[in-house]
Amino acid sequence: MWTGECDMERKDLQAVVLLSGGLDSSTTLAIAKSEGFSCHALSFRYGQRNRIELESARRIARALGAAEHVIFDIDLSLFGGSALTGDGDIPRDRTEQDITDGSIPASYVPARNTVFLSIGLAWAESLGACHIFIGVNALDYSGYPDCREEFIRSFEHTANLGTRSGTQGSPYSIHAPLVHLTKSDIIRKGSKLGVDYSMTVSCYDPDEQGRACARCDACLLRKKGFREAGIADPTRYV
Amino acid sequence: MWTGECDMERKDLQAVVLLSGGLDSSTTLAIAKSEGFSCHALSFRYGQRNRIELESARRIARALGAAEHVIFDIDLSLFGGSALTGDGDIPRDRTEQDITDGSIPASYVPARNTVFLSIGLAWAESLGACHIFIGVNALDYSGYPDCREEFIRSFEHTANLGTRSGTQGSPYSIHAPLVHLTKSDIIRKGSKLGVDYSMTVSCYDPDEQGRACARCDACLLRKKGFREAGIADPTRYV
């Protein structure tokens, strides 16, 4: 797993970049692009409440120069088990301490990153791409187990055992360039790379005009990030 | 990873069982059931040429007493890269030596079992089930890398790092009870458990009446299995 920058040898190579339309994945796309990858952006219509993020993803993929953008349908809401797909209430107004106390909140979607990475892997293998980027972050995050480095490294190992390419000398690399950054580091990095954060949507449940609720964990972490980075927060809150 | 039989303590527990409608996965469902699991059977409409296998899966799930059966839509043919989803010709009339020489044929579907297991994992976590059964087999098989024990064990490890349940004291077990059996062993085992193999479809490309081609790798391995088991092959071939 790479968490740093790529060397020049990897220029002009292809990468699949998971893109939710949020702050982290948009920054990740900008990083992949800045390292010279031709980026195949992949978003999921997985039954999430927040469908506006898919429109954001589309605009961001275009703005950041992705080679192509696919929205893949996979209805995880069929299984339930998450506030993000309609089961129960989204936690709001939690303190920073509560958010980062290591517990897993109701917004956790069962096995989401395992599913998303596996579909990214299927696309990468079909494309002949050996690089997959994912914007997971294990510092200013909600405690999801599938956002940790240990998980990403294990997925990479599994991918290289379970694919033609991985077992025949062209191993996959899963890049998680944000995993050890704070939210403010991420915002500073993305701002330098020209990410327009007004296009990104972090909120778990924005209103119909796309305005963020300002109270869910994602909004609270985002607000904190801009504050600590000393950069004006361009988010439209209700 | 379990490859043997379960002990009595696990009776009455729930399991997700991947069920393609073929010989191996049907036998796996019968084994899970015989070990006392309440079985949630999971099939995929993934863009395969052979849609008849889904009808078979439905009948088999009912015949073998699955608690429920879900057919999940995930269009991997969007990415291409496999003869099974319409890219190129299905290999036919290969010798046994060619089939089992360790190379990966055109019928390989990129990352298929990684994708299927990850969706099975998402369902298992939502159900509160900690057991997933998959009918992979690494002896009489077509050389797919995602049918080997090493891959399954690595996926299990990844699953236990990337989920709430896996990180909070209720780890997942991926059961691959067929992985070290020959096709004839599998057929003998399933026959004892009452699997009606006339209901199962192995062929990669059956005709409209559901008759098997008798020439693809899956048909050749199946025919060999019945021959070596000394059991009459109930398959309808063209």
pTM to 2 decimal places: 0.94
Q: Which residues of B touch A81 (CB under 8 A)?
A: 125-126
Chains A, B: CB contacts within 8 A come to 141
Structural domain includes residue A175: yes
The range of the structural domain enclosing residue B210 comes to 8-229
Quote the pLDDT of residue B138.
86
Structural domain includes residue B87: yes
Look at the block and give the residue holding tokens 């896996």: B166
A62 is written with which tokens? 């275009």
Long-range contacts of B93-102 (CB under 8 A, 24+ apart): B93/B215, B94/B217, B94/B220, B96/B220, B96/B224, B99/B142, B99/B143, B99/B217, B99/B220, B99/B221, B100/B140, B100/B141, B100/B143, B101/B143, B102/B143
Quote the pLDDT of residue A209.
86
Structural domain includes residue A237: no
How many domains, chain B?
1
Quote the pLDDT of residue B6.
47
With an 8 Å Cβ cutoff, is B80 touching chain A?
yes
Mean pLDDT by 10 residues, chain A (238 residues): 52 87 97 97 92 93 98 93 84 85 87 97 95 93 91 98 92 97 97 96 89 93 95 94
What are the pLDDT digits (tens) for B29-82?
999 999 999 999 999 999 988 878 999 999 999 999 999 999 999 999 999 888
Structural domain includes residue A149: yes
Nearest CB partner across the interface for A119, out of B115, B121, B145: B115
Structural domain includes residue B2: no
CA distance B152 to B25: 15
CA A120 centroid distance within chain: 12
Quote the pLDDT of residue B11.
45
With an 8 Å Cβ cutoff, is A161 touching chain B?
yes
CA distance A189 to A229: 10
Q: Which residues of A touch B74 (CB under 8 A)?
A: 73-74, 119
Q: Which residues pair with A17 in a beta bridge?
A: A41, A133
B75/A80 CB distance under 8 A? no
> Is there a contact between B17 and B39 (Cβ–Cβ < 8 Å)?
yes
Structural domain includes residue A235: no
Nearest CB partner across the interface for B115, out of A78, A113, A118: A118
Q: Which residues of A touch B119 (CB under 8 A)?
A: 74, 111, 115
Mean pLDDT by 10 residues, chain B (238 residues): 52 87 97 97 92 93 98 93 84 85 87 97 95 93 91 98 92 97 97 96 89 93 95 94
A151/B158 CB distance under 8 A? yes
Find the CATH number of the domain harbouring A192: 3.40.50.620
Quote the pLDDT of residue A3.
56
ipTM over 0.85? The verdict is yes
Nearest residue in B to A123, CA atom: B79
Q: Which residues of B touch A74 (CB under 8 A)?
A: 73-74, 119
CA A210 centroid distance within chain: 19
Structural domain includes residue B179: yes
CA distance B233 to B220: 12
Classify residue B55 as exposed, middle or buried by CB count within 10 Å of its CB (0-12, 13-18, 19+): middle
Structural domain includes residue B151: yes
Q: Which residues pair with A174 in a beta bridge?
A: A132
